[in-house]
Amino acid sequence: MADILAWAGGGFVIIGAALSLLGAIGVLKFPDVYTRIHAASITDTAGASMVLLGLCLIAGLSLTTLKLVFIWMFVMLTTPVSANALANAAFGSGHKPRIGAFQIMRTDERRKTPRGVDAP
Amino acid sequence: MITLPASINASLVLDIVLLVMLLVVAGAIVRTRSLLAAIILFGVYSMISAIWLVVMDAPDVAFTEAVVGAGISTIVLLGAILLTRGETEKSDWRKLIAPALICAAVGGVLIYAAMGLPDLGDASSPANAHVGRAYLEGTAKDIGVPNMVTAVLASYRGLDTLGETAVIFAAGIGVALMLGFGPRSSLASPPSNLGDRHVTLRVAAKLLIPLIALFALYVQFHGDLGAGGGFQAGVIMAAAITLHALVFGLRETMAAIPSRVARSVASLGVLIYAGVGVVCMINGGGFLDYDYLFPPAVEAQIPGWILGDGSHAPHWGQHAGILLIEIGVLLTVTATMVTVFYGFAGRTVDDARREAKR
């Protein structure tokens, strides 16, 4: 039983690591600040949750698991809020989304703008 | 199946990965022209250092590095950068030759010297053989607290820690003398950008600030038993106050904790620390010799169930002394950090320009 739990926990840790990797790739590849925040917050929430869940399974019913649950609650309380604050600040300082319904740049303009530079 | 040599273990791989990350971040700090990016990267550097210190089995140092380097100093530097231009000038490469040569020479000497260092955890190395061994062997007998770092820091080396506390206090006063104790004229009007857009931030901050303060107290009073103590707890407490100022505005925070309260508490902490030492002297011991903190008549009155399981000498004086001086450290560190933050955050660009003209 303990073996199965440890294997399942390891699986969850690997899933969390894969999600974090996806988030990192997204931060590098996505076109504008909002989509990048989206990718980064996947790392912070889903990736961290999966890793913590996996560690809980490995630790079993113990004080360590309780501490991990507290860490999870703290992560869930802080990282979505920080992503929200970041997006809020970006919006407040006039960054415009590059894709989606609020797209304001024409395709030819977007090709000319170097990557990583946001529309004025 | 490939078998690795026994010298390559998980700890070594972690060391190498973390040190490479440190190098990469250091390179990025040197290369970037944006001061904002440099400050954030400094925070990343501190966080990786903290993780590395955990790998090196130094949780107390890692704790301090995380809360000071990645936490409060980032915020203070961000406050400072609001008053500057935010970008460095592009420097002439010829001006960089001499500093580069000096860096290379110092680095070479350090690498050469590092070859002569004893191995990690070598029991016969000078650091572990003489005083260090005496502390390790004596802590259970002389002090009676489980965390030997706290025993060394607060009791064996209490005088040094008093000096550190006084240095922090002096640094805070120095910053306050340069930048002032709080808001200047332009802060008199309420901040305008706190509309309803920030409601998420405000709700989350209201939930978080009590939790952070509670955690600071846990770190404070758990310092005898595990990683933690007055320095770390003080910075965490200051982070809670700073978070309040960042979300609700400096005026609200200064209404709750006025600047004069902050600087009084900063000096009160040093006073408590030194006062404990003086009480020990009055009772016949040396300065900060906690065994003499209680007169024998008082010590006989303390019931046995308060501390310990009776397996070693109770050391009431040591426990109480460490507790008291850690409270002094907590008060000084918290109030100094808050004073420094007030000094930076209370200035606006307009203030800086006006004073530059004068």
Tell me how crowded residue B32 is: count the other CB atoms within 10 A of its CB: 16
Is A85 within 8 Å of chain B by CB? yes
Section B307-323 average pLDDT: 68
List the domain boundaries for chain A.
2-112
In this complex, do A78 and B201 lie within 8 Å of one another by their Cβ atoms?
Answer: no
pLDDT band at B19; cut points 50, 70, 90: very high
First CA to last CA distance, chain B: 75
List the domain boundaries for chain B.
8-88, 144-358
Please state which of the ranges A31-40, B31-40, B285-294 shows the lowest mean pLDDT: B285-294
Section B343-351 average pLDDT: 72
Task: Pick the residue of B208, B214, B218, B243 with the most A CBs within 10 A to test the interface with A by mutation.
Answer: B208
Q: Residues of A with CB below 8 A from B208's CB?
A: 77-78
The pTM score is 0.81
Q: How far is B325 from chain A (nearest CA, A)?
A: 29
Q: Residues of B with CB below 8 A from A85's CB?
A: 198, 200-201
- The count of CB pairs under 8 A between chains A and B is 20
Half-sphere exposure of B208 (CA within 13 A, CB side): 25
Q: Please name which of B324, B133, B132 lies closest in space to residue B229, comparing C-alpha atoms.
A: B324
pLDDT band at A111; cut points 50, 70, 90: low
Query: What's the whole-number average pLDDT of chain B?
Result: 82
Q: Is the pLDDT of residue B62 over 50?
A: yes
Q: Residues of B with CB below 8 A from A78's CB?
A: 204, 208
In this complex, do B211 and A84 lie within 8 Å of one another by their Cβ atoms?
Answer: no
pLDDT at residue B104, rounded to an integer: 94
Is B201 within 8 Å of chain A by CB? yes
Share of chain A above pLDDT 70, in %: 82
Q: Residues of B with CB below 8 A from A81's CB?
A: 200-201, 204
Most confident of A45-54, A84-93, B178-187, B278-287: A45-54
Query: What's the whole-number average pLDDT of chain A?
Result: 82
pLDDT at residue A60, rounded to an integer: 83
Q: Is the pLDDT of residue A12 over 90?
A: yes
B239/B165 Cα distance (integer angstroms): 18
Q: Is the ipTM of this complex over 0.95?
A: no
pLDDT band at A120; cut points 50, 70, 90: very low
Contact between B342 and B246 under an 8 Å Cβ cutoff? The reply is no
Q: Is the pLDDT of residue B112 over 90?
A: yes
Contact between B63 and B227 under an 8 Å Cβ cutoff? The reply is yes
Is A81 within 8 Å of chain B by CB? yes
Q: 3-state SS of chain B? A: CCCCCCCCCHHHHHHHHHHHHHHHHHHHHHHCCEHHHHHHHHHHHHHHHHHHHHHCCCHHHHHHHHHHHHHHHHHHHHHHHCCCCCECCCCCHHHHHHHHHHHHHHHHHHHHHHCCCCCCCCCCCHHHHCHHHHHHHHHHHHHCCCCHHHHHHHHHCHHHHHHHHHHHHHHHHHHHHHHCCCCCHHHHCCCCCCCHHHHHHHHHHHHHHHHHHHHHHHHHHCCCCCCCCHHHHHHHHHHHHHHHHHHHCHHHHHHHCCHHHHHHHHHHHHHHHHHHHHHHHHCCCCCCCHHHCCCHHHHHHCCCCCCCCCCCCCCHHHHHHHHHHHHHHHHHHHHHHHHHHHHHHCCCHHHHHHHHHC
